[in-house]
Structure 1
């Protein structure tokens, strides 16, 4: 059980330390850039520590250290092969993170003194070790955004060395393995940095960060009643936070394989880092770079669970040739150029496992009622495919970069006795107000999930609408058509109001007379 107070204290302290590192780089470059150096270095330190832990375990019976085994001509090929097969990469002993720190803090000689070029070589050797291996796709280009020769770090090697050395030392001083930690400290450090820079990143490169609470709600709804999932996907995966959240809410926590696609190059790299940092083996995930709407990297893969928070009302080319794509051909219409929302939904429906596929996706409310091609697609999904299981309206201002209220659609390939109805939930009042952003608390999430699982009418909150009711509404899914939230006002006592008005009029006349009397006494 998480101790909330301790969690807040530890997360707050970690956030301050990470921000202090960022301040060393502030002024040299914009925040999106210096975030990349911090995250890249945290990731390198993680891979280094993982190497040390693994080597200590497999060499303990031989009574050797990693350095000793690597220096032995007979052992070295063996430990390299073990490292490639089990970790997916090789970090040579002299390139271990603690060795870089030692050479900064306690160099044995001038020749032993750290240089930024040493760090660059170490990173290149790590990624180079994966070339031609099964792990290549997982590691290729992961450090591309950490450009250690960037003039923004300094004009000379010495200047760049000074700045990067500060980052390395400060990261080495952060305890990423608190014995009493209330969270995955390394993973949380990563998410804190994304959160710190989310707004800036959003303005500069279109990145979108889904806060933890909405991610949790999406994952809980998508996994309700599931013990495990063969495949889990997110077609606009961002930093992969929602993909990882799904695993937490499966009864066994078992996921066969993760799939994701992300168009932003930097975020694509961050997603792969995040998967590895959260202990997902490189053999158990595939994150692809590319535009989901134009290029389906999944192929014929079918998903048990899909979660998604796509860019809202994205403009796209709506090329008629897309109607030849099996993802979009069913409805016979493409979403309008100005609103790609349903294109993402159709993509996910295409990749649903027919036996027990689930989708939970966040979208703007317009998808519920807009006409034209969207109305045709909506009717196709609800009536012809019968995949829509629930429509949930959320509170406004829950997300970075937008204050609009959004809705959450839950779709299932097997409706399990609910094929004749759709559940509507109005959760627009379920939030904790905040100065800059509202938040979903655990109590709000639990109320929504309970209503989804119980699937019964709840006054002014939930309604099970049968298909004839939805058809009578012209396949319009606007939540107020189904959940009546009208609060009847108390009846007004007109006679009492009349008496109050008369009393107020008398008091006003008396007050005016009193003031005029006082003014007369003053000679005004």
Structure 2
């Protein structure tokens, strides 16, 4: 072990964040961020499990140094098993030799095999031995630099140094956020802004014992916010379970690694298309699993979502109607509604504003959801809040156990912190929404509690301005005062003209 591997200096979150972001410099200018983000995030995961494993091994040697068989048996029961030669440090020590890409890939494959279902297929979409990193010599050099970046003192991630802090999980989220900010339209496929996740988690109020699902989970950040809410509100309790499904293989892998880095071992994240092939099913009946909380930020108005098979859906998810072929918003909403537990089910989903008022098949589905008294609240959000799109969005909240048949409308679209490319909800903005949601009252130019009859009169159109009047009256114009001021200005202008004529005459320009 080198001194960098046993460094016990205090760990600072900002230093770790800066170090992992700086590691991206090795790729910049050579490889596109959409490609190298997977290398960076996977390397952080490999470094983390290697440091944890080595830390535990050193502790056991210190205690049972004279009993290697016992040490070996105890290491086989660790959270993650690292086969011989498969750790980060094994790759690091051979970094100056040829074949870095192949060595790292072999290490990841060996770790997958050694950890059974826990890490099955997690690394299948990532290969460090790829031509995307250039010819062999360039690739080997890039990977040597990456190994050295993650081998620095500041990225010593041993539990004996990190303690109970969520340093590694926070660093992973920090990276994902920065990659999302620079990923354009594709960012929405794997990341929900933390302020929106905070808002959804606070409103849905996850409790001990809750089963929580995100059927379009991306990197898993929204799910983990809900888990953290339980821990924060129930003395660190981990009596909850997280479920998710993600269609894109590389993003599913991010979610799996993200869960483990945050210590969320009680999760079930499936890989597959939620609408075409839902995989969170009951074992005995093959019916859909049901959850206390279902929340998601699904892709907006997804084209080719699975319309062709929806009418004959074996789970009956589209009994209220089949959404349009080129807009899958109500496909996700319909799926989520059908996975709510009958008594405790509550749901929050991010949608584009068209979901609130589009007619035809969407209008019929919306009408029935309201008539079934499932819709609880509509929250309008500011524009430019989500990565990859500048359009404003809304949050729809549904409940299975509503105590009235009203719907609360909140217009939070005008309250945000403005940024160059991205707007943000501040802590005060979020708290105002939460307070208004809990009070469930009409407030001037911000919220309106609409009755079922009022919504029916509006043909079940949920467009927020129909309910929340944000019109600001302009101040009355005093025409007499305006005329008096105009006459005064004319007189002043005449006086100035006379003075100017005098000056011009003195200078010899006068008539």
* TM-score grouping bracket, smaller chain normalisation: 0.7 to 0.9
Contact (CA 8 Å) 2:305, 2:328: kept in 1 or not?
Answer: no
Match of 2:374 among 382, 387, 390: 387
Contact 2:186 2:388 survives alignment (8 Å) = no
Deviation by residue 1:83-137 (Cα, 9 ceiling, x = unmatched): 4xxx2x42035433344445559xxxx9xx995544333222111113xx4xx2x
Mapping of 1:451-466 within 5 angstroms? 451-466=436-451
CA contact (8 A) 1:232 1:255 kept: no
Which aligned pairs between 1:248-267 and structure 2 lie closer than 5 A? 248-250=228-230, 251-252=233-234, 253-267=237-251
Within the alignment, does 1:434 sit opposite 2:419 as a pair?
Answer: yes
CA shift for structure 1 position 503:
1.5
Q: Which residue of 2 aligns with 1:146?
A: 126
Distance 1:316 1:220, change over 3 A: same
- Contact 1:307/1:361 (CA < 8 Å) preserved in 2? yes
CA apart distance, 1:194: 1.6
Report the Cα offset of residue 255 of structure 1. 4.7
CA displacement, residues 366-423 of structure 1 (integer Å, 9 cap, x when unaligned) = 111111111111111111x2111111111111111212111111111111x2x32111
Asked if 1:166 corresponds to 2:148, the answer is no
Other structure's SS at 1:313 match: coil
1:351 counterpart = 2:351: no
Paired residue for 2:19, among 17, 20, 27? Answer: 17
Q: Identify which of 88, 92, 95 aligns with 2:83.
A: 92
Alignment size in residue pairs:
485
Q: In structure 1, what is the Cα distance between the partners aligned to 2:213 and 2:501?
A: 78
Match of 1:289 in 2: 271
Give the corresponding residue for 2:398: 411
Q: Is the 8 A contact 1:327 1:346 kept in 2?
A: no
CA contact (8 A) 1:264 1:289 kept: yes
C-alpha displacement of 1:51: 2.5
Tell me the equivalent position of 1:82. 77
Normalising by structure 2, report the TM-score.
Answer: 0.86
Change in 2 beyond 3 A, CA 1:103/1:426: same
Q: How does 1:100-499 map to 2 (within 5 A)?
A: 100-102=91-93, 104=95, 115-130=100-115, 133=116, 136=117, 138-156=118-136, 159-173=138-152, 174-175=154-155, 176=157, 184-203=166-185, 207-223=189-205, 226-250=206-230, 251-252=233-234, 253-281=237-265, 284-299=266-281, 300-316=288-304, 319=307, 321-325=309-313, 326-331=315-320, 333-383=321-371, 385-415=372-402, 417=403, 419-499=404-484
1:425 match: secondary structure: strand
Q: Structure 2 vs 1, CA of residues 367 and 40 (structure 1 numbering), >3 Å: closer, same or farther? A: same
What residue in structure 2 maps to residue 4 of structure 1?
A: none
Runs (5+) with no aligned partner, structure 1: 1-8
Distance 1:39 1:317 in 2: 29
Once the two structures are TM-superposed, the CA of residue 206 in structure 1 deviates from its matched residue by 6.8
Distance of 1:490 and 1:80 partners within structure 2? 75
